[in-house]
Amino acid sequence: MITLDTNVLARALVDDPAAPAQCAAVRKRLAREDQVFIPVVVQVELVWVLETAFELDKAEVLAVLDHLHANRVFVLENEPAYAAALAEFRNGTTGFADDLILVSARSHNAALLTFDRRLGRLPGAQILTA
């Protein structure tokens, strides 16, 4: 099994016109692998890269995240949390990173304190006031 860094994973999943050789190289390598480990931090960074560098909208980001989840080649660190955060992200207005943090807090029966009003409205989160 191998682990991919965020920029490698992004180019495996999305065509990058600025780096076609890198896209081809990572896809060629992945064709030889049975499993690829994706750490939680890479899951979070991937969404940031897709939204900022690739300028994908939410529907496009969701399509990439769904593919990552459905393709059994990818072994997602804490897959249950990924699935729960993906559902929150799909149906809500908060970001994937915030959703993953909230899911993690819930799994530890811990309230999530936040200044983010949208996040603070979700079950398990509390808005911290000054």
Task: Name every residue whose Cβ is closer than 8 Å to that of residue 93 and which is 6 or more positions away in sequence.
Answer: 118
Residue 74 DSSP SS3: strand
Distance, in Å, from the CA atom of 122 to the CA atom of 105, rounded to the nearest integer, reads 12
Tens digits of residue pLDDT in 18-46? 999 999 999 999 999 999 999 999 999 99
With tokens 């999943």, the residue in question is 13
Architecture of domain 2-127: 3-Layer(aba) Sandwich (3.40)
Q: What is the pLDDT of residue 47?
A: 98
What pLDDT score does 5 carry?
95
Would you kindly state where each structural domain of the chain is located, as residue ranges? 2-127
DSSP designation for 37: E
CA atoms of 67 and 49, how far apart (whole Å): 16
The first and second tokens of residue 17, run together, are 């016109």
| Span 90-108, pLDDT tens digits | 999 999 999 999 999 999 9
Model confidence, pTM: 0.90
What confidence tens digit (pLDDT) does each residue in 37-72 have? 999 999 999 999 999 999 999 999 999 999 999 999
Q: Distances from the Cα of 88 to the Cαs of 1, 66, 80, 103, 127, in angstroms?
A: 29, 13, 12, 9, 18
What's the pLDDT score for residue 130?
81
**Predicted confidence (pLDDT) at residue 77 exceeds the cutoff of 90:** yes
Q: Which own/partner contact pairs does 101-109 have at CB distance under 8 Å and 24+ positions apart?
A: 107/81
